Amino acid sequence: MARVKNAVWQEKIRDPHIECMSRDEMQAIQSERLQSVVKRVYEHTPFYYNKMKEMGLEPGDIRGIEDIHKLPFTTKEDLRDNYPFGLVAVPQEEIVRVQGTSGTTGKLTLASYSQKDVDVWGECVARALSMAGIDQSDRIHVCYGYGLFTGGLGIDFGARELGAMSIPMSAGNTKRQIMCMEDFGATAFACTPSYALYLAESIREAGLVDKMKIRVGIHGAEPWTEEMRKEIEDILDIDCFDIYGLCEITGPGVAMDCIHHKGLHVFEDHFYPEVLNPKTNEPCADNESGELVFTTLSKEAMPLLRYRTKDITSIQRDVCECGRTLPRIQKFTGRTDDMKVIRGVNVFPTQVEAALLSMGGVAPHYKMIVDRVEGQDVLTVMVEVDEQYFSDEIRKLDELKQRVGKVLKETLGISVKVRLVEPKSIERSEGKAVRVIDNRDL
């Protein structure tokens, strides 16, 4: 049964023709668009021309979406190597927008957009927001960052398509955020899930939950668990939705979950998803975890073939209860690059989060610290104690510490050092939360 906390909530399918299209019809659209995008990059992007020549591949060899496996992969390193405009497939005067994310080398991972790309982006975000029941009567408080980061502007573009009011707060100054949420009568808010939880706790502490008109939260940009969703929903008495996107593909609006929360619907008429075994590159079966790979089917300025996202998920292609035939990717268990191998065991931060949220006595704020001591990996998990427990006697805190350690060991399969810390002592993030510090020299 779908969880709908707000009695006036009503799901809306913005484009039933596309979102409920038959598999054969969708594959026909995808095949036509794939052939077009392959021809475009072959003729206008030297990077792909050279890649395809090395493989002995020509555009005519791609006759439909079933041939996508023949195409080369694209990685984030390829984007960095071709920074800033080496992957564009249009004259630079046709680029109307650039968006980017910070890189480890100091250079941005830059994506270029034509006007059509921006229009498609706005339409996809509008489809996504409609899944959360948002329409032109809503007021969306946007506390994603604006600027080169795609989060704030992406939600803004979608709100504009819907005709909804956008409140472009950007990140920071939580007290001001809460004041404006109340004063402006925001009915929805959008930010990272870790910041959403912090906002929710701050609103509760200020005694303002009942004064808020918010009924919907739109959260993405980092992995989060169902337990965290429930925590935010229970504090604010709202419905929370998971939105997914990445700058390289188009920002938020690539996928979104509906009210049934059984996976994120991918707008596959624009973004073709594959889930592959990251070691063999072979396709994973439905419901089998692997790396998510996207091909942009309609982007003009900077189309990408088989872009490796490093996000770990699985895919389902059956019809959803909401009636949409769009495939659904499951909540991410993590990324191939945020997974830590500790004493031979694969550990994701989301596993720690789910374990902590399943038990009482601790707050859903934590940090993982990985050290190497005398050749052995040591994982320490710092976790905040709930206010009501922190003043308890030492014996009870020791019992709580042992219980946390036991739950984490059962979840992760390795022993963990637990450090209980005071409430609010772990730094809160207004953007993407930093959950892991790896001090090993690997």
Query: Are 94 and 28 in a shared domain?
Result: yes
Tens-digit pLDDT profile for residues 215-224: 999 999 877 8
Final residue of a domain: which of 300, 332, 364? 332
Which pLDDT band, with edges at 50, 70 and 90, does 7 fall under?
Answer: very low
pTM across the whole model: 0.82
Last residue of one domain, picked from the residues 315, 332, 349: 332
Shared domain for 307 and 350, answered yes or no, is: no
pLDDT tens for residues 412-441? Answer: 888 899 999 998 898 877 667 788 899 987
Domain membership of residue 146 as a residue range = 1-332
* Res 253: pLDDT: 97
Final residue of a domain: which of 292, 314, 332? 332
Specify the pLDDT at position 28: 98
Over residues 337-382, the pLDDT tens digits come to 667 878 767 787 888 888 888 887 888 789 999 998 877 788 999 9
Q: Are residues 407 and 323 in the same domain?
A: no
The mean pLDDT value for 310-335 works out to 91
Return the pLDDT at 9: 47
Look at the chain and count its residues. 442
Q: Which amino acid is at 302?
A: M
* Residue with the larger pLDDT of the pair 171 and 157: 157
Q: What is the mean pLDDT of residues 206-222?
A: 95
The count of domains in the chain is: 2
If asked whether residues 325 and 351 sit together in one domain, one would say no
Mean pLDDT over the full length of the chain: 91
| Residues 354 and 305 occupy one common structural domain | no
What's the pLDDT at 11? 66
Do residues 174 and 269 share a domain?
yes
Q: What is the pLDDT of residue 392?
A: 61
- Same-domain check for residues 272 and 379: no
User: The domain that contains 429 carries what CATH number?
Assistant: 3.30.300.30
Q: How much of the chain exceeds pLDDT 90, in percent?
A: 68
User: What does residue 36 show for φ and ψ, rounded to 5 degrees?
Assistant: -65, -45
**Together in a domain, 246 and 181:** yes
What's the pLDDT at 79?
Answer: 94
User: Residue 2 — very low, low, confident or very high, per pLDDT cuts 50/70/90?
Assistant: very low
Residues 211 and 151 grouped into a single domain: yes
Same-domain check for residues 306 and 359? no
Q: Output the domain CATH number for residue 267.
A: 3.40.50.12780
* Number of alpha carbons in the 13 Å side-chain half-sphere of residue 293: 22
Which pLDDT belongs to residue 336? 64
Give 71-119 pLDDT, tens digit per residue. Answer: 999 998 999 899 999 999 999 999 999 998 865 445 788 999 999 999 9
More confident residue, 42 or 336: 42
| Residue whose entry in the numeric block shows the structure tokens 């496996």 | 69
Average pLDDT over residues 284-306: 97
- By DSSP bridging, strand 188-191 and strand 165-168 are unpaired
Residues 376 and 237 in one domain: no
Query: What is the chain's alpha carbon radius of gyration, rounded to the nearest angstrom?
Result: 22
Q: Is the pLDDT at 126 greater than 50, yes or no?
A: yes
Distance of CA 93 to the CA centre of its chain: 31
Q: Are 332 and 312 in contact (CB under 8 A)?
A: yes
User: Are residue 173 and residue 262 in the same domain, yes or no?
Assistant: yes
End-to-end, the C-alpha distance of the chain in Å comes to 46
